[in-house]
């Protein structure tokens, strides 16, 4: 079917709208102005952000919640370079993000034009697929391919490089739409062969210690309710893959925790003890699989995924690999089970073992019991307060950093689509993700958790929130450090190079953007401040003062940092002998007496008073002398006193795509329409879209990338 001629910019916008795109994020540039007009004309909401990195983070969060493609736009080399971090997030989390980048005009391409670079070959490397459009006539087919690549199989980002002069070009008899909107969104594959499904069920039910490891594919296919029904029917426990804690209701007795960074020891032990594992919608990335130690040698396992692994270096091939989306597989599994009878003795054995496993996990997940009376807040009690105050439909976003370990272990999530955290380990994600989540579900509570390192990278997006009329709550865990990397340094016996940060008054920063703020120095101050923030009509920043000795959820800082030796003082060189043929330098002139001020001039200002050699720390309370267990704290270093290592923006603990009920509702990305309430199905509420695991930096591994984004172990 063809339509009236349109500009290339409008054609792109119409195709995106037909594919289900409802929102686009951008820092505008002159290289794609016709496309901006086209997006508005096609009914797509355009949100201006303060930085392209924030725009890309927002697009990733929107795609995770909706399951549909989301657009981010930037201009030429400079804007596209800033997009890179968010495109890496979308790739790691398997999110359908469409990056549209303005390119220089075709007539000057290849001549070192202003801000020119080969966008497809450079920034496109972060994506599943990238192309530069040279001919407007080829545009419909390229759009078709881009949308298919972004949304089918394992989703991921794609990039189109669009020359500025092409966007104004008229495309005659262009198709009204390219890919049908019904063909996009969460992957739906044909029903799997019942024979293979039966083999996987036998693998689980014939085992003594089976377990299901569930990842982002479950959330993306809106299959949480189906997973709950299967787990309850066969009494097999479920462990969430790293950063996907909302894949299964955390208060269900079959839930045994989330794998990866900051998980209690019971989680890894249970996976290692398993004699059969169903890996469902999970990529088994480095963190989720404990540096590829899971599945353990000799463990029989099945992999059900839209792109299942056949082999991977260092990991035994799956016993059974089945290409299927999670929901299709789970429904076929229920149908197959309905025709059979379960062994009652096996059920009772699994039930008894699971009760013991759950009790051990419940004991290990407690994060708020260690004694503490300051200075600053107890991070575990912050999480306990969140559990007590937040409603089940609250969306929590998190940044990378050790501060997130207490939430990774102790935060209780009851519904799918209520957690956003990237497996890419990117600092700065939490605040833009919270803005996008607030736009996705107007009126729905949204809380961002960030360290002071990550918050400093994207705090400007508070202004975006205010301008767009949304009001997320931001908790800044402030230890004045890149704490995760500082912790690496301390544990390796290295000097704390480049990991100390200065004090920031986060309340005044928030107020400078027009938001609200409160400084929290004691545990009992948090709950009333949090309740007030949740009911406010403006974004609110809660500045949580954190003692640096809280190194991580597993360690109170009791290790001395190494002190770097002072650089040697430069030695004065001896006076050189005059060379033959040269005259000795003239003596220094005698100082002249103070001159009288000339008419029309002001006398010179007196020299400022010298600053002390070492300035006292600003508004720092003395560190307590004992740790939470009463042990003496470590002595301060001689030269650079700094409290024992503390948490820092960590590699985000693991999120996954979102899930829901039989057909779980998606969040409409337009702020004018409120988010549909997640209907509870069986034991579980409605779900939302979710990202897929990638790799990230964290506490147990060498830092990589951002100073606070630890590298995947």
Global pTM reads 0.79
pLDDT of residue 22: 96
- For residue 534, the SS3 value is helix
pLDDT band for position 407 (cuts 50, 70, 90): very high
Instruction: Please name the helix (run of DSSP H) or strand (run of DSSP E) that holds residue 337, with its range, or none.
Output: helix 326-338
Token look-up 């209520």 returns: 418
pLDDT of residue 341: 64
Residues 353 and 277 in one domain: yes
- For residue 187, the SS3 value is coil
Query: In this model, does residue 659 exceed pLDDT 50?
Result: no
Counted domains in the chain: 3
Q: Which residues contact 468 (CB under 8 A, 6 or more apart)?
A: 47, 435, 439, 671
- For residue 211, the SS3 value is strand
Which of the 8 DSSP states describes residue 551? Answer: E
**Average pLDDT of 590-617?**
42
Question: What angle is formed at CA 378 by the lines to CA 374 and CA 382, rounded to 5 degrees?
Answer: 140
Residues 330 and 392 in one domain: no
Which is higher by pLDDT, 110 or 449?
449
Range of the domain at 283: 194-364
pLDDT band for position 611 (cuts 50, 70, 90): very low
Q: Which residues contact 74 (CB under 8 A, 6 or more apart)?
A: 26, 27, 29, 52, 55, 80, 82, 83, 99, 101, 102
**Gap between the Cα atoms of 186 and 206, Å rounded:** 32
Residues 137 and 11 in one domain: yes
Residue 662 lies in a domain: no
Of the candidates 364, 394, 412, which is a domain's last residue? 364
**Gap between the Cα atoms of 527 and 89, Å rounded:** 32
Residues 163 and 200 in one domain: no
pLDDT of residue 172: 79
**Average pLDDT of 307-332?**
92
Q: Which residues contact 682 (CB under 8 A, 6 or more apart)?
A: 225, 228, 229, 232, 661
Which is higher by pLDDT, 427 or 628?
427
pLDDT of residue 664: 44
pLDDT of residue 638: 38
Among 116-130, 153-167, 349-363, 555-569, the minimum mean pLDDT is found in: 555-569
Question: What angle is formed at CA 368 by the lines to CA 362 and CA 371, rounded to 5 degrees?
Answer: 130
| DSSP states of 248-296 | S-TTSTTEEEE-STT--HHHHHHHHH-SEEEEES----TTTTTTTT-SP
Residues 489 and 547 in one domain: yes
CATH value at residue 214 = 3.40.50.1220
Query: In this model, does residue 653 exceed pLDDT 60?
Result: no
**Gap between the Cα atoms of 368 and 482, Å rounded:** 23
pLDDT band for position 283 (cuts 50, 70, 90): very high
Chain centroid, CA 577 distance in Å: 65
Which is higher by pLDDT, 656 or 334?
334
- Based on its alpha-carbon atoms, the radius of gyration of the chain, rounded to whole angstroms, reads 28
Instruction: Please name the helix (run of DSSP H) or strand (run of DSSP E) that holds residue 511, with its range, or none.
Output: helix 506-512
Among 291-295, 356-360, 557-561, 676-680, the minimum mean pLDDT is found in: 676-680
Of the candidates 155, 183, 211, which is a domain's last residue? 183
- For residue 65, the SS3 value is helix
The 3-class SS string of 88-109 reads HHHHHCCCCEEEEEEECCHHHC
Query: In this model, does residue 700 exceed pLDDT 70?
Result: no
Residues 418 and 541 in one domain: yes
Query: In this model, does residue 196 exceed pLDDT 60?
Result: yes
Query: In this model, does residue 688 exceed pLDDT 50?
Result: no
- For residue 396, the SS3 value is strand
Query: In this model, does residue 617 exceed pLDDT 70?
Result: no
**Average pLDDT of 512-520?**
98
Residue 207 lies in a domain: yes
Which of the 8 DSSP states describes residue 548? Answer: T
Mean pLDDT of the chain: 83
73, HSE (Cβ side, Cα atoms, 13 Å): 29
Residue 147 lies in a domain: yes
Residues 320 and 417 in one domain: no
**Average pLDDT of 161-189?**
71
Residues 175 and 207 in one domain: no
Residue 641 lies in a domain: no
Which is higher by pLDDT, 711 or 462?
462
- Helices and strands (H, E) in the chain, number of each type: 19, 22
For 225-263, the pLDDT digits (tens) are 999 999 999 999 999 999 999 999 999 999 999 999 999
Question: What angle is formed at CA 593 by the lines to CA 588 and CA 599, rounded to 5 degrees?
Answer: 125
Angle in degrees, 0-180, between the axes of helices 326-338 and 194-205, rounded to the nearest 10: 80
**Average pLDDT of 624-634?**
39
Residue 81 lies in a domain: yes
Q: Which residues of 395-413 are buried (b: 16+ CB within 10 A; e: fewer)?
A: bbbbbbbbbbbbbbbbbbb
pLDDT band for position 188 (cuts 50, 70, 90): low
Token pair of 201 as six digits? 């069920």
pLDDT of residue 640: 41
Q: Which residues of 324-361 are buried (b: 16+ CB within 10 A; e: fewer)?
A: bbbbbbbbbbeeebeeeeeeeebeeebeebbeebbebb
Residues 408 and 350 in one domain: no
Q: Which residues contact 164 (CB under 8 A, 6 or more apart)?
A: 30, 31, 32, 102, 103, 104, 105
Residue 692 lies in a domain: no
For 350-385, the pLDDT digits (tens) are 999 999 999 999 999 999 999 999 899 999 999 999
pLDDT of residue 301: 97
Residues 320 and 230 in one domain: yes
**DSSP H helices in 75-186:** 76-92, 139-151
Token look-up 């102790």 returns: 410
**Gap between the Cα atoms of 321 and 335, Å rounded:** 20
CATH value at residue 85 = 3.40.50.970
pLDDT of residue 467: 98
Instruction: Please name the helix (run of DSSP H) or strand (run of DSSP E) that holds residue 226, with its range, or none.
Output: helix 224-234
**Average pLDDT of 129-151?**
96
Residue 391 gets the label, from left (phi > 0), alpha (psi -120 to 50) or beta, of beta
**Gap between the Cα atoms of 647 and 652, Å rounded:** 13
Residue 561 lies in a domain: no
Instruction: Please name the helix (run of DSSP H) or strand (run of DSSP E) that holds residue 302, with its range, or none.
Output: strand 300-305
Which of the 8 DSSP states describes residue 665? Answer: P
For the chain, the helix, strand and coil percentages under 3-state DSSP, each to the nearest 5: 30, 15, 50
Residue 495 lies in a domain: yes
Among 150-164, 482-496, 582-596, 658-672, the minimum mean pLDDT is found in: 658-672
Query: In this model, does residue 710 exceed pLDDT 60?
Result: no
Give the residue among 550, 559, 556, 561 at the shortest CA–CA distance from 629: 556
Residues 224 and 105 in one domain: no
pLDDT band for position 187 (cuts 50, 70, 90): low
**Gap between the Cα atoms of 276 and 291, Å rounded:** 19
- 542, 597, 625, 659, 685 from 655: Cα distances, Å: 23, 70, 37, 12, 17
Query: In this model, does residue 126 exceed pLDDT 70?
Result: yes
Among 314-318, 563-567, 657-661, the minimum mean pLDDT is found in: 657-661
**Gap between the Cα atoms of 667 and 437, Å rounded:** 9
Query: In this model, does residue 555 exceed pLDDT 60?
Result: yes
For 61-102, the pLDDT digits (tens) are 999 999 999 999 999 999 999 999 999 999 999 999 999 999
**Gap between the Cα atoms of 491 and 494, Å rounded:** 8
Of the candidates 535, 556, 577, which is a domain's last residue? 556
- For residue 57, the SS3 value is helix
**DSSP H helices in 558-632:** none
Residues 395 and 504 in one domain: yes
**Average pLDDT of 652-659?**
40
């Amino acid at each position: 079917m063809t339509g009236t001629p349109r500009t290339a910019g409008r054609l792109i916008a119409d195709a995106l709208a037909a594919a289900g795109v409802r929102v686009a994020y951008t820092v505008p540039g002159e290289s794609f102005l016709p496309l901006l007009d086209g997006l508005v004309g096609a009914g797509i909401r355009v949100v201006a952000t303060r930085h392209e990195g924030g725009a890309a983070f927002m697009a990733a969060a929107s795609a995770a919640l909706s399951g549909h493609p989301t657009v981010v736009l930037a201009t030429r080399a400079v804007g596209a370079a800033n997009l890179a971090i968010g495109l890496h997030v979308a790739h790691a989390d398997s999110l359908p993000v469409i990056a549209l980048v303005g390119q220089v005009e075709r007539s000057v391409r290849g001549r070192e034009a202003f801000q020119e670079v080969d966008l497809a070959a450079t920034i496109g490397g972060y994506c599943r697929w990238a192309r530069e459009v040279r001919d407007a006539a080829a545009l419909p087919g390229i759009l078709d391919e881009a949308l298919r690549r972004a949304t089918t199989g394992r989703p991921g980002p794609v990039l189109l490089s669009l020359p500025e002069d092409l966007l104004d070009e008229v495309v005659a008899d262009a198709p009204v739409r390219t890919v049908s909107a019904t063909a996009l969104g969460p992957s739906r594959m044909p029903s799997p062969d019942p024979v293979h499904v039966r083999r996987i069920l036998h693998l689980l039910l014939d085992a003594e210690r089976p377990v299901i490891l569930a990842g982002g594919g479950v959330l993306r296919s809106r299959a949480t309710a189906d997973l709950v029904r299967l787990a309850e029917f066969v009494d097999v426990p479920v462990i969430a893959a790293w950063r996907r804690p909302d894949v299964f209701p955390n208060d269900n007795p079959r839930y045994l925790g989330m794998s990866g960074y900051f998980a209690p020891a019971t989680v890894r032990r249970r996976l290692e003890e398993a004699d059969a594992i169903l890996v469902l919608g999970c990529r088994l990335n480095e963190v989720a699989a404990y540096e590829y130690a899971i599945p353990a040698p000799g463990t029989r396992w099945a992999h059900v995924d839209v792109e299942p692994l056949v082999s991977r270096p260092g990991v035994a091939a799956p016993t059974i690999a089945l290409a299927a989306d999670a929901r299709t597989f789970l429904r076929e599994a229920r149908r197959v089970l309905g025709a059979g009878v379960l062994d009652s003795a096996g059920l009772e054995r699994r039930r008894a073992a699971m009760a013991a496993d759950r009790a051990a996990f419940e004991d290990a997940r407690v994060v708020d019991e260690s004694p503490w009376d300051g200075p600053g807040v107890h991070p575990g009690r912050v999480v306990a307060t969140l559990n007590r105050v937040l409603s089940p439909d609250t969306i929590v976003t998190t940044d990378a950093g050790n501060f997130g370990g207490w939430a990774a272990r102790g935060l209780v999530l009851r519904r799918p689509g209520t957690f956003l955290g990237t497996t890419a380990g990117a600092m700065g994600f939490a605040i833009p993700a919270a803005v996008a989540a607030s736009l996705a579900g107007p009126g729905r509570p949204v809380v961002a958790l960030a360290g002071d390192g990550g918050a400093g990278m994207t705090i400007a997006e508070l202004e975006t929130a205010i301008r767009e009329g949304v009001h997320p709550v931001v908790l800044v865990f402030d230890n004045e450090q890149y704490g995760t990397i500082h912790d690496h340094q301390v544990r390796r016996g290295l000097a704390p190079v480049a990991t100390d940060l200065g004090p920031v008054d986060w309340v005044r920063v928030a107020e400078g953007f027009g938001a609200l703020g409160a400084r929290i120095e004691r545990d009992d101050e948090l709950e009333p401040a949090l309740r007030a923030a949740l009911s406010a009509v403006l974004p609110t920043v809660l500045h949580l003062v954190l003692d640096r000795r809280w190194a991580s959820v597993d360690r109170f800082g009791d290790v001395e940092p190494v002190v770097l030796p002072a650089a040697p003082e430069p030695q004065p060189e001896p006076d050189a002998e005059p060379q033959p043929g040269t005259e000795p330098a003239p003596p220094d002139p005698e100082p002249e007496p103070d001159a009288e001020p000339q008419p029309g001039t002001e006398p010179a200002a007196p020299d400022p008073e010298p600053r002390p050699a070492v300035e006292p720390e600003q508004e720092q309370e003395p560190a307590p002398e004992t740790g939470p267990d009463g042990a003496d704290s470590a002595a301060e270093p001689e030269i650079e006193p700094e409290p024992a290592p503390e948490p820092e923006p960590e590699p985000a603990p693991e999120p996954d795509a979102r899930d829901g009920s039989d057909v779980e509702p998606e969040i409409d990305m337009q702020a004018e329409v409120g988010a549909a309430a997640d209907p509870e199905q069986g034991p579980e509420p409605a779900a939302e879209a979710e990202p897929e695991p990638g790799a990230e930096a964290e506490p147990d591994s060498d830092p990589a990338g951002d100073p606070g984004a630890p590298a995947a172990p």
